[in-house]
A and B are shown apart, each in its own frame.
Chain A
């Protein structure tokens, strides 16, 4: 969203998680959706910090985290690039899937739904689209 005067509105964050981990998730999502392509160059820490309206130190931590997850490579003097390791990206996709499933399972059991019941409803919803 672009505000009056051309300033991009900053990212909104949920209150219960550190901002750096929310940004890591956001970038992982962009990698999985293909908004960030393997081998593509990422913005500099400062540029990204300005875009999302977050402290430079926090963004530095995000970039370090992505690198230690093996999702980016930093080339000295050239910047940070999305990994070209396709296997790593498929692995990320699988990990995310499992994480989402676990979260989902937790929330349905909190309301007393069974897995089978939910699966049936999910399939039906898909079919009627």
Chain B
């Protein structure tokens, strides 16, 4: 389990994450939603060990998180041009050289399932295929946690659909968790266990998806709109 205790992060004077306490158990797919600038990417980078909290602590399996034990987290960055000079096959070889838990075989299998040409340079691929290659590289790692920053962003519905199926197919809910940020809530909702809504660096709502539907008769999209509206402050 990953636990954040009173975590804050700021860029100079700008508070990005404010006093956040959150737990991510194993065995769930957890969505992080929120408007642009709500702190989603910063939160994910901290969980992945790429950025360190200015205040508070992050622990993974009860050990304090650092770049060293962040090996338990496979991170998918929100970047379209990503090792663009490599082919997917070369990208997998590079990942294998960096991460002992990386399986070229699994990455190739995911790439085949997602129908990515692994012999073309990433910069020559369409945006959708780059998204697929990135997903294959991430799922090629065998880690308890996958942290994915906007894995579906800017991709067409068919690509999104295939990535979502790839996530179900190539992760094991008994031993792994996925934490992903997304704007495509409607499509992602069926695969989520719980949803966390961020606003101005704070959690304004958090619930299990089935509980949201059961208790409020709303899907995640309308629920999120409502909780976000309620929290709009006077000075906005």
Q: Of B47-55, B99-107, B119-127, B165-173, which binds chain A?
A: B165-173
In the complex, B218 has a CB within 8 A of chain A: yes
- Which residues in chain B, 153-180, are within 8 Å of chain A measured between CB atoms? 158, 161-162, 164-165, 168-169, 173
Q: Contact: A55 with B158, CB < 8 Å?
A: no
Q: Contact: A10 with B210, CB < 8 Å?
A: no
**Also in contact, A57 and B190, with CB within 8 A (given A7-B165, A50-B168):** no
Q: How far is the CB of B192 from chain A (nearest CB, A)?
A: 7
In the complex, A56 has a CB within 8 A of chain B: yes
How many positions in chain A have a CB within 8 Å of any CB in the partner chain? Answer: 25
Residues on B with beta carbons closer than 8 Å to the beta carbon of A46 = 168-169
Residues on B with beta carbons closer than 8 Å to the beta carbon of A54 = 190-191
The main secondary structure of chain B at its interface with chain A is helix
**Also in contact, A10 and B190, with CB within 8 A (given A50-B168, A50-B169):** yes
Q: How large is the interface on B (under 10, 10 to 19, 20 to 34, 35 or more residues)?
A: 20 to 34
Residues on B with beta carbons closer than 8 Å to the beta carbon of A18 = 210, 213-214
B165's partner among A13, A17, A50, A56 (CB-CB below 8 A) is: A50
In the complex, B193 has a CB within 8 A of chain A: yes
Q: Contact: B115 with A15, CB < 8 Å?
A: no
Q: Contact: A7 with B162, CB < 8 Å?
A: yes
Q: Contact: A17 with B168, CB < 8 Å?
A: no
B214-231 Cβ-contact flags toward A at 8 Å (1 or 0): 100111011000000000
Interface residues, chain A, CB within 8 Å of chain B?
3-5, 7, 9-11, 13, 15-20, 46, 49-50, 52-58, 61
In the A-B complex, list the 8 residue pairs whose CB atoms are closest, starting with the nearest: A15-B219, A16-B217, A18-B210, A56-B173, A18-B213, A54-B190, A55-B191, A18-B214
Of the A-B pairs whose beta carbons lie under 8 Å apart in the complex, a sample of 11, sorted by A's number, is A15-B213, A16-B218, A18-B210, A19-B210, A19-B213, A20-B210, A46-B169, A53-B168, A55-B29, A56-B173, A58-B210
